[in-house]
Structure 1
Amino acid sequence: MTETTVTKKSKNPKAPKLFPDELIDQLLAQVQNRNAESVLGESGLAGQLKKQLAERMLAAELTHHLESEAEQGSAGNHRNGTSRKTVLTPNGELTLDIPRDRQATFEPQLVGKYQRRLAGFDDHVISMYARGMSVREIQAHLLELYGLEVLPDLISTVTDEVLAEVEQWQQRPLEAMYPIVYFDALRLKIRDEGTVRNKAVYLALGIRADGRKEVLGLWIEQTEGAKFWLKVFNELKNRGLHDILIAVVDGLRGFPEAIEAVFPAAQIQTCIVHLIRNSLNLASWKDRKPLATALRPIYQAASAEAAAAALEAFAQSEWGRKFPTVPAMWQRQWEQVIPFFAYPHEVRRIVYTTNAIESMHMQLRKIVKNRGHFPSDEAASKLLYLALRNIEKDWKMPPITWRQAVNQFAILFGERFTAAIS
């Protein structure tokens, strides 16, 4: 019996070699004590190679510049030695000898005349900031890993460059219609006029007609009310949003009056997830699981009438009598709970899902939890925007049940929905 060897094709085929092995061997032959630092470190072979490649490119740039001047009839310009310059890279400092010309008309492109940071350094700093590291932590990280002594002001300057991007993002055009928009708040401590205050960051998370999620914007405000929400809704409308089918909220003050003024056809739905969570917060840890089980017949009821009966039964039950504030809380918000029971199962699952808003808030809280407070609204906006940008990278697919929900949205909302997907 003969053995047969099966060779599987690699899913990740090797990239073609950029340099021949002979050249690599010649370079390695110049390294006496071969170790990771002497070969790959900034002071080793890789660092020297990076320096020489950059200087060769700069020399070629100057050659091209002088030849172009000569072709255009500008004679008399020549090379004029070099000037030493140290720039910051994602892997540490890099000292380069920058070529000069006698008439000082040469403007290098690889490393600009006033450039002190190479491409990649800023992205590296912003990436650390987006993961919740403070300016001081980034400073310590750069010093420990790369030996870079970077002033806090430089790190702040790099991250402040994001503010223009935040403003552009906050003003970008939106879809004309979103089937569902979740409105919720995150509480932060922010310094304002010399005093650290508790402020709310209001977030709008939209579900597009194709089922994908999109953060529509963020707004920082100390107090909420109809006037604030009117400003938010008018801003959304000015950015191209003309219709919201279902607005999911958690008892935000002034919200119903404001949305009715700008988006009168929107159905306001109390966030069932928040209502359940707020109910459980009134109980001790050992009581939370049985209390959650006792509440389930209410929000899983087949109709509004059945849900009202289940709420009444809960109020008279052992758990309702033990926690009377729970049924009272549900009854106060009942008018905004009722629309939920008119939706078919497929739409309920989309509206109810905890993944949309809860996972986003959990990730944001994880990033901001180590911050004592933010020095300004802009600093908070900057970090939250960068965090949201990272979170949105994972939002590539709609919910699994979206395909089934589309037909139900079309039946429930007619042309308001179908016009957006046609």
Structure 2
Amino acid sequence: MFAVVMEAYLHGVSTRKVDDLVKALGADSGISKSEVSRICADLDTEVGAFRDRSLAEQRFPYVFLDATYCKARVNHRVVSQAVVIATGVRADGWREVLGFAVGDSEDGAFWTAFLRSLKARGLGGVQLVISDAHTGLTQAISAVLLGAAWQRCRVHFLRNVLAQVPKGNAEMVAAAIRTIFTQPKADMVRDQLNVIAGMLGRQSAKVETMLRDAAPDLLAFADFPAAHWK
């Protein structure tokens, strides 16, 4: 409930609408703006402690990086802000949010500062980073996470591919590309990409080119233990 109320408050919703939200969530009494402010202040402390905690005690060989844009109140104005997040995966499969940051845009400088903050908190042992192909992000990864391989996010890649095909063919193309990632062995993964690229190339040379050009980054996961692929 508090998360919903806080979201409403940050977006400039009136006290009456906040009351309506609270009632809709099953509470009989309303809540004032001052109470929402107090809740937000308490959450700031907890979130700050979570965001600044040490990462030195664990090793996360796999790190996912992503971003989204949200509306936020900055200097009394509601503006669009980039929210970036890092999720680590241990060798045993345990996932954990490592950190997040909010800024005006997800440019290279912002990503670089964010990754450096993770390293300063003790992040180490990263072997593979998974993200989209945003230029500023990939440059930051290569500059800060030295020695880590880069895996192009297949979800983002698939969206890029589907933007190049007729809507009527999208489901078939998506299903064909997904078979690349269901193969049980590394050599079979690479062979399947070649098969699918050739098959789709008969309908769209551009899609074939996209698949073949992206292959080294799209299939980086295949160099790691098969038990970790999922």
* TMscore range, shorter length: 0.7 to 0.9
Cα distance in 2 for residues equivalent to 1:190 and 1:133? 10
User: Is 2:120 aligned against 1:238?
Assistant: yes
Contact 2:64 2:129 in 1 (8 A): yes
For residues 28-51 of structure 1, what are the alpha-carbon distances to aligned partners after superposition, in whole Å with 9 as ceiling and x for unaligned? Answer: xxxxxxxxxxxxxxxxxxxxxxxx
**CA, structure 1 residues 317+176, in 2 after alignment: closer, same or farther (shift >3 Å)?**
same
The 1:332/1:153 distance shift into structure 2, 3 A limit, reads: farther
Relative distance call for 1:127 and 1:193 in structure 2 (3 A) is: closer
The C-alpha deviation readout for 1:361-415, integer Å capped at 9, x for no partner, is xxxxxxxxxxxxxxxxxxxxxxxxxxxxxxxxxxxxxxxxxxxxxxxxxxxxxxx
**Partner Cα separation in structure 2 for residue 261 and residue 214 of structure 1:** 23
The alignment partner of 1:177 has SS state of coil
Match of 1:162 among 16, 40, 43: 43
Q: What secondary structure sits across from 2:105 in the alignment?
A: coil
More off after superposition, 278-287 vs 240-249: 278-287
Q: For residues 226 and 133 of structure 1, what CA distance do their matches in structure 2 show? A: 31
Identity in percent: 26
| Pair 1:254–1:142, CA change in 2 (3 A) | closer
Q: Which residue of 1 aligns with 2:94?
A: 212
Other-structure match for 2:59: 177
Q: CA deviation at 1:139?
A: 1.7
Equivalent residues of 1:250, 1:275 under 8 A apart: yes
- 1:329 deviates by 3.8
Q: Secondary structure at the match of 1:178?
A: coil
Instruction: Report the secondary structure of 1:167's partner residue.
Output: helix
Paired amino acid for 2:98 = L
Partners of 1:192 and 1:127 lie apart in 2 by 19
**SS of the counterpart of 1:290?**
helix
1:188 aligns with 2:57: no
Query: When the two structures are aligned, how many residues end up with a matched partner?
Result: 220
- 2:191 equivalent in structure 1: 306
After superposition, residues 316-335 of structure 1 pair within 5 angstroms as 316-318=201-203, 320-321=204-205, 324=206, 326-335=207-216
State the 1:216 CA deviation.
0.6
What is the rounded CA distance, in whole Å, between the counterparts of 1:233 and 1:218 in structure 2?
Answer: 10
1:151 partnered with 2:32: yes
Structure 1 counterpart of 2:84, from 193, 196, 202: 202
Provide the C-alpha distance between the structure 2 equivalents of 1:126 and 1:247, rounded to a whole number of angstroms.
Answer: 34
Cα 1:147–1:263, aligned 2, differ >3 Å: closer, same or farther?
closer
- So what's the TM-score if we normalise by structure 2? 0.77
> For residues 226 and 307 of structure 1, do their structure 2 counterparts lie closer, same or farther at Cα, with a shift above 3 Å needed?
farther
Q: Contact 1:224–1:253 (CA<8 Å) still a contact in 2?
A: no
- The answer on whether the counterparts of 1:295 and 1:314 sit within 8 Å (CA) in structure 2 is no
In the other structure, the counterpart of 1:139 is 19
Shift in CA distance, 198/167, structure 1 to aligned 2, threshold 3 Å? same
**Which letter maps to 2:5?**
Y
3-state DSSP class of the match of 2:80? Answer: strand
Q: 1:149 to 1:193 in 2, by over 3 A?
A: closer
Distance 1:267 1:285 in 2: 34
Q: Alignment partner of 1:186: what SS?
A: strand
Residue 249 of structure 1 aligns with which residue?
131
> In structure 2, how many angstroms separate the alpha carbons of the residues matched to 1:331 and 1:222?
34
* Distance change >3 Å, CA 313–CA 283, structure 1 → 2: closer
SS in 2 for 1:148: coil
Which residue type is aligned with residue 45 of structure 2? A
Is the CA contact 2:133–2:152 (under 8 Å) kept in the aligned structure 1? yes
1:248 is paired with a residue whose SS is: strand
**Deviation (angstroms), 1:243:** 1.9
How far the C-alpha of 1:265 sits from its partner, in A, is: 1.8
Mind listing any 5+ residue stretches in structure 2 that lack a counterpart?
Answer: none
CA shift at 1:253, angstroms? 2.3
1:269 corresponds in structure 2 to: 151
Q: What RMSD over aligned residues (CA atoms) do the two structures have, in Å? A: 3.1
Distance 1:150 1:159 in 2: 13
Q: What is the CA–CA distance in structure 1 between the aligned matches of 2:60 and 2:32, rounded to whole Å?
A: 45
After superposition, the Cα gap between the structure-2 partners of 1:183 and 1:146, relative to the gap in structure 1 and judged at 3 Å, is closer
Aligned with 1:198: secondary structure?
strand
Q: Which residue of 2 aligns with 1:397?
A: none
